Every structure is written in C-alpha cells, then in structure tokens.
Amino acid sequence: MIPYPDIRPYIVRIGPLEVRWYGLMYLLGFLASYLLVNRQIRRRRLGIERKVVDDLYFYLILGLIVGARLGYVLFYNLSEYLRNPLEVFALWHGGMSFHGGLTGAILAGVWVCRRKGLDFWLFSDLVIVTAPIGLGLGRIGNFINGELYGRVTDLPWGMVFPGGGDLPRHPSQLYEAFFEGLVLFTVLWLLKERVSMRGGMTALFLLLYGVMRFLIEFFREPDPQLGFVLAFLTMGQVLSLGMIAAGASLLLFLYRRR
C-alpha cells in the first residue's frame, strides 16, 4: 500500500476565500490549449487572427463550465438539486461532469462558428487535440482533493483516501490522468498532421476517450448517490458508450463523404 500524500486542497487561504489546486488545474488546462491552438494556426499558416481565437475561447470556456455544471445536475444528482435548486449555482461545492462540459463546449463552438462564418470542423480539430491536457490536469486536481477515488483493491499501489473508508483503493484519478491525459494527448498530437479529413481528429477524440473512460470506470468507485445505473455499468460508462457511438458514427460519415 502507498500512503496517500498529505496535500492541502488549497494553495492559499485568506479568510473564507481559497485558491484551490483544482481551480488552478482548470486555468492551466485552458492556457495550454489556447497556446497550442495558436501554435497550430501559425505553423499551418491558416491566416486566422488572434482576436478570432480569443472570442472563440471565451465562449468555449463559458459553454464548458455551464455544460459541466448542468451535466452533473441532470446526470448525477437531479433529485437533490430539485429539492435545493439554488445549489445549482454553488459551484464551490463541487459537482462537474466532463460529458456535460464537452456538450456545452461543442454547442458554444457551433454557435460562434455559425455567427462568424467559420469552419466548425477546422476549429474543432484544432482545439480537440489539446483537450486531453486539461483532462489530465483536472484528474490530478481530483486526486489532490481526495475525490472520485477508485474501488477497493489489494494491489500494492492501493491508497487509503480521506473519506474513502479504511481499505486501500485504486488511485483511479491517476489512471485517468495518465491515459485520458498524457496518452491521449500524445496520440492525437502525433496524428494531427496525418489525418486530413476535417472533423477526423474530433471523431478520434470521441472514440478514444470514450473507450479509455469506459475501461477505467471499472476501477473507479461508482457515485454513491447513483451506484450502478445499468446492470454493472456506471453513469460514466453509459455516457462514454454514447461518445464511442458518436465518434464511430462521425468517422464513418466523414469517410463516406470523402
């Protein structure tokens, strides 16, 4: 068993205000994505102005945050929020859904691109290859918070998490940070110049992330308020199956259109 590291979830605390590691991970993820998208634009000489990217990211971030919160409310704890509707706005109490955030970001991107007459698939492919950076950093933030831990294990790298009982558990946040973050980013970044179909990188992200998340969820403790929602599957796995189907369908559509 490996001892869980004694890391405070906040960096600085001033009275009731805290700067938390989880929030910093979000900021670093957005910054890395923004810089790498601009780098791709320069290297490929796409002629897209920086202001266009700035506007796009403003709405992408807004759509992601709103979508992540609403996704958690709808998919993971709807009954609780129906009893306490004002809690929907209490972001500092936690509760964000990746699948909801992705949906919100996609809708925001579609709206901005249509409004400005931009090629949605071009921008989607530019942004999506950088998304795993934020995903990996976010899971590290979950690990520091001691949340979203794994199922009980007897493997030598199991950890006893605060709030997770006395038994060692899988550090599933680190599994996700590695596979959905580092591995997925490396694969997409290496393929981005080889996939010529517009929308191809977006389809690959949906497919590969969905598969990775589906498999890693077998090591992650189901959400206590939901448990298993479909036989032995968790909500995260059900939503990931939807991503796999969407990614495979998009690849097939793009291939046939080409």
What's the pLDDT tens digit per position in 105-157?
999 999 999 999 999 999 999 999 999 999 999 999 999 999 999 999 999 99
In a domain, 96, yes or no: yes
Q: Is 60 exposed, middle or buried (0-12, 13-18, 19+ CB in 10 A)?
A: buried
Q: Which residue has the tokens 């032995």?
A: 232
Phi first, then psi: give them for residue 14, nearest 5 degrees.
Answer: -125, 100
Q: Is 179 a member of any domain? A: yes
Residue 255 lies in a domain: no
Find the domain containing 52 and state its range. Answer: 10-186
Round the average pLDDT of the chain to a whole number and report it.
Answer: 93
Residue ranges for the chain with pLDDT beneath 70: 92-93
* 90, part of any domain: yes
Ramachandran region of residue 14, left (φ > 0), alpha (ψ -120 to 50) or beta?
Answer: beta
Q: What is the pLDDT of residue 81?
A: 85
- Judge whether 105 lies within some domain: yes
Q: Is residue 72 part of a domain?
A: yes
What's the whole-model pTM score? 0.93
Neighbours of 144 (CB within 10 A): 19
Domain count of the fold of the chain = 1
Is 256 inside any structural domain?
no
34 lies in a domain? yes
